[in-house]
Amino acid sequence: MSRDLRRRLFLIAALAAILALGWATTRHHKQWDLTQAASHSLSPASVETLKQLPGALSLTVYVSAPDAQPELKQAIAEFVGRYQRYKPDLKLAFVDPARQPEQAQQAGVQQDGELVVEYGGRRERLNQLNEQSLTTALLRLAHRKDSLVMYLDGHGERKLDGAANHDLGEFGKRLQQNGFRLAPLNLTLAQEAPENASLLVVTQPRVDWLPGEADKLQRHLARGGNLLWLVDNEAMHGSEALAEQLGLILPDGLVLDPAAEEQRAPATWALASAYPPHAATRDFNLITVFPFARPLLWDESNQDWQHHVLVEAAPRGWVSARPPQAAARFDKARDTPGPAVVALALTRSVADREQRVVVVGSGSFLANTYSGNGGNLDLGVALVNWLANEERLITQPPRAVRDDRLELGKTTLNLLAVSVLVILPLLLAGVGGWLWWRRRRA
């Protein structure tokens, strides 16, 4: 084969490869995000949320003179494009509220720059566009029903809308962000616990329940109501009958964890980082903190309920019969070695459906003072999603965008400018002159 023929064949093969590659790129789109913070791709939580939204989804941006702001339109389009890669039927539109005031008024837009997300006849309004805000709005829209979470009130219980340190206000805000409605329930006044609630949250009362109140709660449980019970390491104040109905044994004792002391936290903070397989903790891998936790045991002879361990804390710790006076030390004669079960799921069949109960041996786990530690709030939301039969929405929240900007002071900038514009050229000129001088002498 001659050299010219080989060249022609090579050119033909190269041209064919280029044409094939061009055709493939029009049929198959692939993109890699090589940035350190993955700032140009969606988190797994956002991708999972989009999977829960079958059907058309629209995002409308209400901004004055959008055509006069091409950079803004391009930035928004690029951001929404990350979502459209996983949901092609997500439609993006821009509306000028000055030119189309009726459409803006119908959408409930109150200020320039608002965004409206619509899905299945429902809508959410946003004042800013980032992954956290948009995915959170999509989670609210993903709720197929109006889920009501009620919490016992009237006896000093922790409030889901309270701002005090012992209250659960931050947890309540997170639930509302995820589409749940909150309402208090005082069983002294209510005839019965409402059946339209997705679940009832019970926390430790500070004064005794009246016998009639305890009876109403037991009837609610007997009818198949779902329950989240946060049990503190304190007096039961009339809730002993509830524990008996669930087949629970709540021994006295405080879970102590030397691993918490190693992290410069009190030994009374029981840490957990591994979770037995369960739908409520699917893919959950964050560290959680259970302050002042009491261990949970159950009666194996009780066949009414199926018991599933959700959280075992303090694997190197123990259950102490008395609070530590100084440094925590294990006492073989009195203490029980860990790990200790601090969260438990119970299920049974009632009226051809599954009744769900979660018991956590630490009310402080979701209190305002401690809920910001580790993944406490995330685990709390996951438990509520499971109790409300919304386990398809159990996912870790989207990450916050990492700030990778480099900000330099004026002095640093001046030094950098002098180094690049003056010192570095002089240095290069000096090296070049020295090399020229050596070659000339040689």
Instruction: Give 291's strand partners.
Output: 269
Rounded to 10°, the helix 131-142/169-177 angle is 80
Pick the CATH number of 44-141 from 3.40.30.10, 3.40.640.10, 3.40.190.80, 3.30.300.30: 3.40.30.10
The predicted structure's pLDDT at residue 67: 80
The predicted structure's pLDDT at residue 166: 94
The predicted structure's pLDDT at residue 51: 84
Cα distances from 331 to residues 266, 334, 337, in angstroms, run 18, 6, 9
Q: Which CATH architecture has domain 147-393?
A: 3-Layer(aba) Sandwich (3.40)
The full length of the chain comes to 442
What is the rounded distance in angstroms from the CA atom of residue 253 to the CA atom of residue 234?
A: 10
The predicted structure's pLDDT at residue 312: 95
Q: Does 315 sit behind a cis peptide bond, omega within 30 degrees of 0 on the bond before it?
A: no
Alpha-carbon torsion (110, 73, 121, 170), positive or negative: negative
What is the rounded distance in angstroms from the CA atom of residue 109 to the CA atom of residue 122?
A: 15
* Residue 128 near residue 179 (C-beta atoms within 8 A): no
The predicted structure's pLDDT at residue 31: 53
Q: Tokens in use for 132?
A: 């956290």
- Nearest residue to 378 (alpha-carbon basis) of 314, 439, 288, 297: 288
Q: Tokens in use for 401?
A: 């965008």
* Residue 371 near residue 162 (C-beta atoms within 8 A): no
Q: Is 44-141's fold the same as 147-393's?
A: no
The predicted structure's pLDDT at residue 34: 42
H-helix segments, 315-375: none
Domain regions of the chain by residue span:
44-141, 147-393
Instruction: Give 183's strand partners.
Output: 150
**What's the pLDDT tens digit per position in 423-436?**
878 887 787 787 87
Q: Consecutive 10-residue runs of the chain (442 residues): their mean pLDDT? A: 70 76 60 49 81 87 85 88 90 89 84 86 82 82 78 94 94 88 93 90 93 93 95 90 92 91 91 92 90 93 90 93 74 86 95 93 95 92 90 60 56 74 79 78 72
* Residue 180 near residue 169 (C-beta atoms within 8 A): no
The predicted structure's pLDDT at residue 247: 92
Instruction: Give 148's strand partners.
Output: 181
What is the rounded distance in angstroms from the CA atom of residue 14 to the CA atom of residue 21?
A: 11
Distant-in-sequence, close-in-space partners of 7: CB < 8 Å, separation ≥ 6: none
Residue 412 CB burial class (10 angstroms; 0-12, 13-18, ≥19): exposed
Alpha-carbon torsion (105, 111, 112, 117), positive or negative: negative
Q: Tokens in use for 287?
A: 């560290």
Q: What is the Cα gyration radius of the chain? A: 30
What is the rounded distance in angstroms from the CA atom of residue 184 to the CA atom of residue 24?
A: 59
Instruction: Give 184's strand partners.
Output: 151
